[in-house]
Chains A and B, each alone.
Chain A
Amino acid sequence: MKNASVLGAAKPAPVETEALTLMLGDRVLLDRATLLVERGQVLAITGGAGSGKTALLGALAGQLPAGVDMAGSARIDGHLLIAQGGRLAPRRPLALQVAEVVGHHLGLDLRSSLRRMADGLDRMGVPAAARRFDLPPEQLPEQLRWACLFAMAVAVGPAVLLADAPAAGLDPTVRLRLLHRLADWARADGVALILAGRPEDGLAGPADRVLALRRARLLPANPARTEPLTPLEPPGTARLHARGVGMSYPLAPGPRGEARSLAVLHGIDLDLRTGETLVLLGETGSAKATLARSLLCLPPPTAGAVVWMGRDLMATAAPSAAGDARGDDPDRGGLRRARRDLQPLFPDPAASFDPAMTLGAQFGLVLESLRPDIAADRRDHRIDEALEEAGLRPEAALRWPSALSVAEAAHAGLARAILSEPRVLVADEPASRLSAEERETFLDTLMAVRDRRRLSLVLATERYDEGLRDAHRGVVMLAGRVVESADAGTLRTAPLHPYSRAMLAAAQGERPALEGDAPSAFAQPAGCPLRRRCPLAREFCAQAIPTLEEVAPGHHVACHYWDTPADG
C-alpha cells in the first residue's frame, strides 16, 4: 500500500496503525490509514484547515475529540501530545506546571524536574538569561512558551511525541529553528516524532518523511508550485514613487510632559513600475504592513511623500480632516481618482466587509464613489463581472458577509479591489487566513487577475519563497528599514543579507542561521537591529545602522559585513 512505510527493526515500532478509520458523524476524516513510525524518525503530516489532523493525533493519543468515531487499530508506546495552540494553564507559574508533568511521568521532585527542564531548554537553544520559571505562561513571549513546551517534552523523554501545529504563529525563522532542534533531539534520543500542521508551516523541512492528509487519505505531499503560472512580462515605467516614507505613532507624554513617539518606519524609498510585482518581505515588527498602508495613505505616513502619476497623495489626503471637506465634492484634490487607481487587499477580508450590508450593496457603493462614469443600471453588470473574475459566482452579490467562508471572503475582497478597474493592488498578507489548496487557489486567482489586467502589485508577506515566486522584485524589511532589495531571481538564489538568507533557509525548510527572537519595537538595540541574532555581528554593528549600498546593478544591501564569510 502506498502509505505503508519503512519496515524495520526487530523491536516493534513505537507507532503502528492498521486500517485506522476516523468518522465525524457520517463524514470520513481518515480512510483506512496504515502508518508505521520508527524510533528516531520524524514524520510530518500536513493538511489544510479541517482536514482531520487534530482528530488523527487525538486518536493516536487515545483522546478522540467529541463526536469522532474510530475503527481499525492503533498501537502507540508511551507518548505525550502537545495540543494545538500550545496553551498551558495561563496563570499558573511555569515551574509548578513543569514539576507536575515531569513529576507525574518520572516521579521526580520539583528541583530535579526543573533541572531536567533546564537541560531541555539547553537543547532548545534558550539562553540561561531568558529562563523565567516563576512567570505564568501568559506572561512569557510566544517563542519562549513554545520552547518551554518542547523542553518539557524533552525533560519527560517519551517514546513518542505528537505535536499538533507546533510553533504555529511564530515567525518562520524562529519556528524552523525550534522545529529543527526538536527533530535533532528526536533523532538523537530515538523518539518517534509526529508533527502535524498546515502545509505552509514548513514542517516538511525538519521531517524525514512527509505525508499529506488529503481527501481522508495519507498521501505523499505534492511539492508547492515554484515557478510563476505564466512567464512574467517585463515592467514598464515607474508610476508610483515613495520618497522617505516614515511612520511614527504618538505615545503618552513623558515624565516632563515632553511629546514622545514611536517610529516604526524609517525613510523608505520605493518605485513601482507598471505591470511590476513588488513583494515586501518581513516578519513580525518589520513594518511591511505599515508601509503597504502608507502607500495607500490609509492613514497617510507622517514623513516623506507618496507620489502617484505626478500627484502628491499626502497633500491631497491631508485636508480631508478639515471642515471644508464636503461630500458633494466630486474629486477632492484628485484623491478619489488616486483611490480608484490604488486599491487594497486586507489581511482579514471577512472583517473588511460591513456586516450590515450585502456584498452587492457594498460593491455598488464602491462603484458609485469611484466610478461615477458607470451608469447606475450598468453597475450590477460590472459587479457580476468582477465577482466572476475573482472566482465567485454572481449570486454572491446577494449574500451577507457573515455568511461567507474565509476563502470566499478573500475572493470577495479581490472582487471589490478590481471593481474600480485599478492600476495598482496593494495587498497586505491577503492569504494569511487561508491554508493549503484554498491558499494556492486564491494566489493563483490573484496572479491571473494581475496578468489579465496588467496590474502593478505590491504584496506584503512573511513567506519568502511563495512571495518571490510570482514577483519581479523583492524588498526585505527588518524593523522598519529595507535591508536588501533586488530582483526576485537574485533573492531566491543568492541573497546577501544574513536576514534574507535566514528567511530563505526557513522557507526551504532548512535551519536558519539566526539565534533568539526578534526584539520588540520598544527595545530595539542600538546600531543594526539584527546584531543580537546575527552570525556575522561584530562590535562595529552596535555603533552604526548600516545604510543601503549598491553591491551590483539593482541589488542593494544594508549590512556592514555582507561580504564576510559567516565563520570569519
Chain B
Amino acid sequence: MPRPVIRRLIDAVPTAVLPMVAGVGLSALVAPQPDAAMALLRGLVVTLLLTLPSLAVGTALGTLAGSWAALAPRSAGGLVGRLLAGAGPLLPGFLLAAVAALAVRAGASAAPLGWTALSIPAACQAARLARPAMGRALGPGPEGGAVRMARGLGLDERTVLRHHALPQAVAPVMGGLRAAVLAAMVGAVALESLLDLPGAGALMVDAARAGSAAGAVPVLVALGGLTALLNALGLGVRDWIDPANHSSTPYEGA
C-alpha cells in the first residue's frame, strides 16, 4: 500500500477505528441478540466491500468523463461526461438502489447491479466537479495560465494535458470526496435493506424497524467510523496522486 495512504489511515485511527470498535463492543454489551457483535463485524465488511469499489471506480470514471467533456464536448466520451455532470442530482444513490431492487425482483443478479447503482452517483459528482475545473484550466482565465505557459514552452499537447490540465481537474474532485462518501453510505444502506444483503446498514434498518435503540445505535456509531475510514482512504489517495509528493526522483549533483 502506498505510504501516504498508510499515513492517512494511521491518522484516522481515533475517528475511524475507535467508533467501529465502540460500535461492535456496544452491540456485544447491549444488543438483544447474542451474536450481534459478530453480525455487525460481518456487516461492516459487506458495507465496505459494497462502497469502496464503487466509489473508486465511479470517481475515476466520472473524473475522466468530466474532463473529457470539457476537452471535447461533442465526442462520445464528452457526451457521457456532460450527461453525468448534468444528471448529478437526478440520480441519488438510494433511488438507484430502488431501481436495482426492482430489477432484482425482475430476475437480474444483485451484486453487479448494486455496485453500479452506487458508482453512478459517485461518477456524477466527480464529473460535475471535474468538468468546469478542466474548462477553466484550458480556458482564457487566470487558471489557464499553467496550460498556456506549458504550450508556450513548447511541450507537446499530450504532456500539457497529462501534467498541466488534468491535475487541475482532479483537485476539486478530491476535495469533494467527502460528499461522495456520504452519498455512497446512504446509498449502501438503502441497497442493503432493499436487496436483503447482510450489511451493517440492513442491520441498522432492521433494528430501527423493530424499534430497538439498543440494536440500532451501535450500528450507527460503527457506520460513522466506516465513513471516517473511507474519508481517510480518500485523503490518502489524494496525497498519493498529488504530484507534489512525487519528488523522490534522484537529482543530486544539480
Q: Do chains A and B touch in the complex (CB under 8 A)?
A: yes
What residues make up the interface of A, taking CB atoms closer than 8 Å to B? 61, 63, 65-66, 80-93, 95-97, 100-101, 104-105, 110-111, 114-115, 117-118, 133-136, 139, 152, 156, 162
Residues of A within 8 A of B152 (CB): 61, 63, 80-83, 162
In the bound complex, what is the Cα–Cα distance between A51 and B249 (angstroms)? Answer: 43
Residues of A within 8 A of B253 (CB): 111, 114-115
A-B contact pairs, 27 of them (CB 8 A): A63-B151, A80-B152, A81-B151, A82-B152, A82-B153, A83-B151, A84-B148, A85-B142, A85-B145, A85-B149, A86-B145, A87-B145, A88-B150, A92-B164, A92-B243, A93-B246, A95-B249, A96-B243, A101-B153, A105-B154, A114-B253, A114-B254, A133-B251, A134-B247, A134-B251, A136-B243, A136-B244
Q: Is the CB of B246 within 8 A of A87?
A: no
Residues of B within 8 A of A156 (CB): 153
Q: Is the CB of B167 within 8 A of A91?
A: yes
In the bound complex, what is the Cα–Cα distance between A87 and B144 (angstroms)? Answer: 9
Knowing A92-B163, A111-B254 are in contact, say whether A101-B154 is a contact too (CB < 8 A): yes
12 further A-B contacts with Cβ under 8 Å, apart from A83-B145, A100-B163, A111-B253, are: A66-B140, A80-B154, A81-B149, A83-B148, A84-B148, A85-B142, A85-B149, A89-B243, A91-B242, A92-B243, A95-B254, A104-B156
Quick one: which of B115-168 are within 8 Å of A by CB?
140, 142, 145-146, 148-156, 159, 163-164, 167
Residues of B within 8 A of A111 (CB): 251, 253-254
**Closest Cβ–Cβ distance, residue A93 to chain B (whole Å):** 4
Residues of B within 8 A of A97 (CB): 163
Residues of B within 8 A of A162 (CB): 152
Q: Is the CB of A101 within 8 A of B155?
A: yes
Quick one: which of B233-254 are within 8 Å of A by CB?
242-244, 246-247, 249, 251, 253-254
Cross-interface CB contact of B149 among A65, A83, A96, A133, cutoff 8 Å: A83
**Closest Cβ–Cβ distance, residue B247 to chain A (whole Å):** 4
* Chain A: CB-nearest residue to B151: A63
Knowing A66-B140, A111-B251 are in contact, say whether A93-B149 is a contact too (CB < 8 A): no
Q: Is the CB of A110 within 8 A of B249?
A: yes
What residues make up the interface of B, taking CB atoms closer than 8 Å to A? 140, 142, 145-146, 148-156, 159, 163-164, 167, 171, 242-244, 246-247, 249, 251, 253-254
* Chain B: CB-nearest residue to A67: B140
Most chain A beta-carbon contacts within 10 A, residue among B146, B242, B253, B254: B254
In the bound complex, what is the Cα–Cα distance between A88 and B251 (angstroms)? Answer: 20
**Closest Cβ–Cβ distance, residue B167 to chain A (whole Å):** 6
In the bound complex, what is the Cα–Cα distance between A100 and B166 (angstroms)? Answer: 17
Q: Is the CB of A87 within 8 A of B146?
A: yes
Q: Is the CB of B159 within 8 A of A100?
A: yes
Knowing A111-B253, A115-B253 are in contact, say whether A65-B140 is a contact too (CB < 8 A): yes
**Closest Cβ–Cβ distance, residue B85 to chain A (whole Å):** 22
Report, nearest first, the 3 A-B pairs whose CB atoms are least far apart: A81-B152, A114-B254, A87-B145
Residues of B within 8 A of A93 (CB): 243-244, 246-247, 249
In the bound complex, what is the Cα–Cα distance between A152 and B251 (angstroms)? Answer: 16
In the bound complex, what is the Cα–Cα distance between A162 and B153 (angstroms)? Answer: 10
* Chain B: CB-nearest residue to A118: B254
Residues of B within 8 A of A135 (CB): 247
Residues of B within 8 A of A133 (CB): 251, 254
In the bound complex, what is the Cα–Cα distance between A101 and B160 (angstroms)? Answer: 11
Cross-interface CB contact of A96 among B142, B171, B246, cutoff 8 Å: B246
Residues of A within 8 A of B244 (CB): 91-93, 136, 139
**Closest Cβ–Cβ distance, residue A503 to chain B (whole Å):** 29
* Chain B: CB-nearest residue to A138: B244
In the bound complex, what is the Cα–Cα distance between A298 and B154 (angstroms)? Answer: 49
